Chains A and B, each alone.
Chain A
Amino acid sequence: MIADGRQGEPGRIRPLSVDLAEYRRRSVASLYSNLVTRPTGRAVRMGVESQIAELERSQALCLLVLDFSQVRILDFSCADEIVAKLILRYAQERPAVQVYFLARGVHDHHAEAIEAVLDRHGLLLVTESEAAVFRLLGSRDDAISTCWDHLHRHGRLGADEAADCLGVDFDTAAAVLASLAAHRVVVPFADGSVRPVHLLDRPEG
């Protein structure tokens, strides 16, 4: 699992204020053709990182959408270099810009490579298929899966509701939400609730 440098103590979410008005820019890296070999993956990742670096001056929050709809082949090495290393970098370091991730246009064969590298590193990623079906891929247990499914249906979740949904106490539920936030598949709000990244630009309710 990722060590969450933003957590003050285990089981508690350190609030991160998210004003969607500040949510200024969505960085879309369109990925084309065959993504195979590690050097290719490294080159793509460096391109994406330079896009993110441009945002750092504005202190913006960024939802990085990796668009795989034009990618025919994604091998495991390239998936590791692009997907895993990008998430690892922005989840483990303390970058000036807060980066969240969404993979779009993901076919089953992309998902196979992506899931393998996420599992390897203990990471999570939300993916969207061409038919607009959202899935949480990667290293997840039942509590994570249940919470994310609930979030996907309802949009926002606090620790109280998560505790009801999971049938656990408040602190345990808060720890599950903190874990989802540490994996950057949800965004934590000042009131302790979280929202999944793929619903950030949609009205609540």
Chain B
Amino acid sequence: MTRIIEVPGTLDQGGFDAMVAQAAEVEEGGGAIVDASRVRFANPFGMVGLLAIGAHLGQRGKRPQLRLPTSSEVGSYLTRMRFHEEARRLYEVSGGTERSRGGGETNVLLEITPIGSHEDVHDVIDRVQDRAGTILKEKLGYPATASTHFSMMLSEVCQNIIEHAEADGWVGIQSYKWKKTLGREVVVIAVMDLGVGFRGSLEREHAAHHGDRWSDATALEAAFLHGTTRFRDPGRGQGIKQIRARVHRWGGKISIRSGTARITDVPEWDDAPPLQTELARFPGSQIQIVLPAVAPLGDAAGS
């Protein structure tokens, strides 16, 4: 049986959750058509999430189909993020448009990039430095030194895939004006994999310690709040702590979804719950970092 997964008009973190809930209904070995034709907005998390859904469906059953957005504006965004190249590896693709508007100012900080090795992390860091400097300074109003800290943070978050997921993943970064929540420019980093997830990574070393309380949520809390890792090396577990510190310093938001839970450092401008449980199960980890532009003077949201 082939099931249709309706992609919401807004393809962001909420849109991803909606897709995951529908994907959970697809039978093992069954087919799926992911219908993104009505998408009117897509951020990096939504785009990378659409790829993750495709990979997940393909692993569970038949190669899925993807109906691309009909909106030329969304099609242009997807093209600039090199979404289609990755999508064709995972889906039978139909509809939509792949034409770029071409030229002009780009808001793409890093096109959707597969991460499968430490060499890929080096490539990502080499590629983002100049663009990060320009976008962070001009669009977010961050100091010139921010690009270095951004690269340090990006390196750690990408290494999370290699070190903990035991599977390949993707990263994509884009800036856009987030009118609805902030009314300001943001840079959104999306990093996802379909690996063992935080619970799977920590299970062997730490599950027994938590007893009956062991779950996706407790695994996320252990890693996110306490720097717990599966490695005995005391130098491990620094990455997430340092990423959180940097995101906090820039007034940003970081959330990690893994399995059936999501944990979030919630900034004052957002009202997301710090911990969500009983979400539809999805393998691996999905990380989103939102970095907001420096608030204008007198704007309480960023002060």
- B-contacting residues of A (Cβ < 8 Å)? 34, 36-40, 72-77, 80-81, 84-85, 108-109, 112-113, 116-117, 120-121
Complex contacts, B145 vs chain A, CB 8 Å: 108-109
Which residues from 237 to 290 on chain B have a C-beta closer than 8 Å to any C-beta of chain A? 238-239, 242
Min CB gap B270→A, angstroms:
26
22 residue pairs of the A-B complex, CB under 8 angstroms, read A34-B122, A36-B152, A36-B155, A37-B118, A37-B121, A37-B159, A38-B163, A72-B129, A72-B148, A73-B129, A73-B155, A75-B151, A75-B152, A75-B155, A76-B152, A77-B155, A77-B159, A109-B145, A109-B148, A112-B152, A120-B235, A121-B235
Min CB gap A184→B, angstroms:
18
A50, B43: Cα distance in complex, Å? 48
Partner of A113, one of B121, B152, B234, B236: B152
Complex contacts, A77 vs chain B, CB 8 Å: 155-156, 159, 238-239
Min CB gap A167→B, angstroms:
34
Q: Which residue of B lies closest to A110 (CB)?
A: B148
A113, B118: Cα distance in complex, Å? 19
- A-contacting residues of B (Cβ < 8 Å)? 118, 121-122, 125-126, 129, 145, 148-149, 151-152, 155-156, 159, 162-163, 234-236, 238-239, 242
A196, B92: Cα distance in complex, Å? 66
Complex contacts, A73 vs chain B, CB 8 Å: 125, 129, 148, 151-152, 155
Contact of A76 with B151 at beta-carbon distance under 8 Å, contacts A39-B118, A120-B234 already known? no
Min CB gap A104→B, angstroms:
18
A162, B235: Cα distance in complex, Å? 33
A117:B238 contact, CB within 8 angstroms: yes
A38, B239: Cα distance in complex, Å? 11
A76:B239 contact, CB within 8 angstroms: yes
Complex contacts, A121 vs chain B, CB 8 Å: 234-235
9 closest residue pairs by CB, A with B: A80-B235, A75-B155, A36-B155, A37-B118, A109-B148, A76-B238, A73-B151, A75-B152, A39-B118
Partner of B121, one of A36, A85, A117: A36
Q: Which residue of B lies closest to A81 (CB)?
A: B235
B122:A37 contact, CB within 8 angstroms: yes
A72, B155: Cα distance in complex, Å? 13
A73, B153: Cα distance in complex, Å? 10
Partner of B235, one of A39, A72, A84: A84
